[in-house]
Amino acid sequence: MAMIDPSTLQTIEAPAMHIPDGFLSGPVAGVGFALAGVAIGFAVWRTNRTLGERFVPLMGVMAAFIFAAQMMNFPVAGGTSGHMVGGALAAILLGPWAAMIAMTSVVGVQALIFQDGGLAALGTNVFNMAVVACLVGYAVHAGFIRFSHLAPWVRYAAAFAAAWLSVEAAAIACSFELALSDTSPLNVALPAMLGVHAAIGVGEGLITVAAVAFVAATRPDLVVAQVPVTED
């Protein structure tokens, strides 16, 4: 094979967590679509029964904000950049099922209109960023927020932990998909992906905390649903 000209590498788009076509084998891409389809189907079923009126504008706003935030690549160490995924933030403010649908809107538009993430890889990208990130972000936040009565900062620690772990979980999923596709062995892809996204996750955590703090300060009614009933 001919030498690869490094200058051409820069033009290939493979943003932080968006898998381009060519990285995944057919079976992995197919399973990605199947898993994403089952999860989104369940999310539709759940939200279809319980979605409150106030979630309609909130889902649109969250999707728009996350799309904008994902465009803002911030530098992390070692000539690398990263951008927010937003799954944890969406899950904290919308609950996991409505968040999945908002995130799917973002990832779908990115693939179909902005060629960010491959078409064959769309199911896998939805699975990583809309399903895994939202579920892990929600679960971590729900676990921590039970202690929010102990100190006011627990809420922000919960948001940070949810955001950081959601990015790492999506990176783990991505590593397994690359390994199962014979693109990169797991013992190479997993530490590399976890390492890069440990740094990106800090940015994710800070933005998520700032966004949760902003919403809590301006529209506290939008976050109360996620906090267990207390005497305040």
Which residue, 54 or 153, has its beta carbon nearer to other proteins? 54
Q: How far is the CB of 158 from other proteins (least distance, A)?
A: 17
Q: Contact, 129 vs 85, CB < 8 A?
A: yes
Measured distance CA(166)–CA(190) in Å, rounded: 15
Which residue, 24 or 153, has its beta carbon nearer to other proteins? 24
Which residue, 94 or 163, has its beta carbon nearer to other proteins? 94
Q: How far is the CB of 43 from other proteins (least distance, A)?
A: 8
Q: Contact, 170 vs 129, CB < 8 A?
A: yes
Chain centroid, CA 30 distance in Å: 20
Q: How far is the CB of 105 from other proteins (least distance, A)?
A: 4
Q: Where are the alpha helices (DSSP H) in 51-132?
A: 55-71, 87-94, 96-114, 122-126
Measured distance CA(123)–CA(29) in Å, rounded: 7
Which residue, 139 or 183, has its beta carbon nearer to other proteins? 183
Q: How far is the CB of 227 from other proteins (least distance, A)?
A: 11
Could you tell me the CA-to-CA distances from 187 to 14, 41, 115, 138, 148 in Å, in that order?
A: 21, 33, 29, 28, 38
Q: Contact, 40 vs 127, CB < 8 A?
A: no
Q: How far is the CB of 154 from other proteins (least distance, A)?
A: 20
Which residue, 64 or 151, has its beta carbon nearer to other proteins? 64
Angle, helix 87-94 to helix 55-71, in steps of 10 degrees: 160
